[in-house]
Amino acid sequence: MSTLEFYFDFISPYAYMASTRIEAIASSHGRTVRWRPFRLGITVTKIMGLKPLLETPLKGSYLRADVPRLAKALSIPLVDDLDIFNPVPAHRLFHALPPSSAGAMATKMLHARWAEGRRLDNLDSLADIAAELGIDHSTVEHALKAPETKQAVDAATRNAIEQGVFGSPTCLVDGELFWGIDRLWLLDHFLAMGSVYQPIESSRIPML
């Protein structure tokens, strides 16, 4: 099966919500998901020269209202905590794992942070989360210290930028980018049409 690239950052609640649906969308069209974590803070602050969303006047207040209402509308559990945290430890743990288990760990960490309110920025919390997938403490400890995982995080972020990714979540499939959970319906339509665009009557645009 061909691949659907799912670019995301652990700090993004929208990425968490999209992660609950992306595997089903991909498999329904004979695709597999390749999980592609990247540093959203690098693209936002260093490449685009913007402030983080929560720190942006007007937009920050909107986001604090939009995220919980979207989660309610989609029946997705969400904690009442949108504060920014350091996602680097989670990124490094992801890159310490083989591809066969990295995707499961990504969804586990996203759910742990956004549905359960658990920390992704320290060793003990990540070790507890990883243990639930049978990953031992020493693997987590090594991941957070090893130079190769730091290099992998940097390389993954460069790759995202090279592909034109600027937001989380973003899906890349057949040369097309789809940014945001509110474009999953369009991604689904694109794949259903054989990766070509077909007109949709405005009254028939589907819900997420």
- Note the pLDDT tens digit of each residue in 7-54: 999 999 999 999 999 999 999 999 999 999 999 989 888 887 777 777
Residues 54-77: tens digit of each pLDDT: 778 888 899 999 999 999 999 999
Inter-CA distances, 156 with 94, 95, 121, Å: 11, 9, 19
> Hunting for tokens 């993954």 — which residue is that?
156
* Residue 176, beta-bridge partner list: 173
Selection from 50, 58, 54, 99 nearest residue 81 by Cα: 54
The whole-number pLDDT of residue 45 equals 81
Query: How would residue 3 be classed by pLDDT, with cut points 50, 70 and 90?
Result: very high
CA 55 to each of CA 59, 130, 167: distance values in angstroms, whole numbers, following the listed order: 8, 31, 16
**CATH number 3.40.1190.20 is the correct assignment for the domain at 2-204:** no
pLDDT at position 208 is 58
Residue 133 · residue 101 · CB < 8 Å: yes
Stronger pLDDT, 112 or 44, i.e. the higher one: 112
Closest C-alpha among 118, 125, 117 to residue 93: 125
Please count the CA atoms within 13 angstroms of the CA of 12 that sit on its side-chain side: 26
* Residue 6, H or E segment: strand 2-8
Whether pTM > 0.85 for this model: the answer is yes
pLDDT at 103 over 60: yes
